[in-house]
Amino acid sequence: MTEIIGQIAAALTTVSFLPQAIKTIRTKNTGGISLTMYIILCTGMLLWLVYGIRIQNKPIIYANSVTSVFALIVLIYKVKNLLKNR
């Protein structure tokens, strides 16, 4: 039971960034989104990826490959909008 809870938790926090990426691509609206959050988050996820590769932990590698792509999409749109509105 405990392991199942952990797996569902991991799946949810990993997949949660997908709807944000889809919404951002669709609407291009990044008004309420924090640039600082996404800079820190993307850096953190990329470091998780490096850590996962170094300790050869597949769940860490897979989860962070996926989420860092979604988070990077949001970050790129946010930066694009900031540059456009300068």
Q: Which residues bind a second copy (CB under 8 A)?
A: 2, 5-6, 8-20, 22-24, 27, 29-34, 36-38, 40-41, 43-45, 47-48, 50-51, 54-55
* Cβ neighbourhood burial of 38 (10 Å; 0-12, 13-18, 19+): buried
Instruction: State which residue, 9 or 59, has the beta carbon closest to a second copy.
Output: 9
Distance of CA 54 to the CA centre of its chain: 20
To a second copy, the closest distance from the beta carbon of 2 in angstroms equals 4
To a second copy, the closest distance from the beta carbon of 4 in angstroms equals 9
To a second copy, the closest distance from the beta carbon of 7 in angstroms equals 9
Contact residues for 75 (Cβ-Cβ < 8 A; gap 6+): 35, 38, 39, 42
